Structure 1
Amino acid sequence: MPISTARVATDRPGRYAKQLAAHMGRKIEASYSEETGRGTLVFTAGTATLEAQPDALLLTVEGERENLPGLEDVVGRHLVRFGARDELLIAWQRDNGEAGLVHRNDDPEA
């Protein structure tokens, strides 16, 4: 299954992963473990995994190729809103070498 990844530099990766999973969990199946620093979001079009690393949040979305932009968009838009004061930059890279979407807090549609 095609994937797209984004490494989001932040000194609070666990906080953002937990917040994203809690927020998305209102509408979809979502989980996050503070113990492992890992989470999952299950959409009808695919899945997203969240991995809190020491200095970044690693995001991976997986789904049919035509669904990747939508998955990147929903995960990226929500995360950039949560991290507005930290000026998070989310730049997706697809496994076929194509650049994916880019989200930042100065984006008027974010």
Structure 2
Amino acid sequence: MPDTRAVVATAHASRYLQQLCKHWAHKFETEFTPTDGRIVLTVGEARLAADAETLTVALSAPDEEALAQLKDVVAVHIERFAFRETLRFDWT
């Protein structure tokens, strides 16, 4: 199962983590606290961790195509919540 991870610099990591989890809670299995989150989407799973300076996003999917789709969907949603700042997702 392919996976990838990005550490995104932001002082609003907890806010974005919680917004993303709440946003998808009506459609997907989610669980979260102010510092950790997990979302099980149809194309894969997202795990998030927030601290004072960074939001860590770890994704896993059944194949590379699904992983690419998941990266795009998660990044676009977080960027919408962070419209006041520019975030950088360097997937590794």
- TM-score computed with the length of structure 2 as normaliser: 0.90
Deviations, residues 36-82 of structure 1 (Å, cap 9, x unaligned): x1100101221000000231000011012221101101100100010
Q: Please list every run of at least 4 consecutive aligned residues from structure 1 whose deviation after the TM superposition is greater than 4 angstroms.
A: none
Identical positions, percent? 36
Unaligned runs of 5+ in 1: 94-110
More strand by share: 1
| Bigger RCO (CA 8 Å, 6+ sep) | 2
Residue in 1 that maps onto 2:18: 18
Residue in 2 that maps onto 1:43: 41
Q: Distance in 2 between matches of 1:91 and 1:75?
A: 13
- TM-score computed with the length of structure 1 as normaliser: 0.77
Residue in 2 that maps onto 1:68: 67
Structure showing greater Rg = 1
Unaligned runs of 5+ in 2: none
Q: How many residues are aligned here?
A: 91
Q: Distance in 2 between matches of 1:58 and 1:52?
A: 6
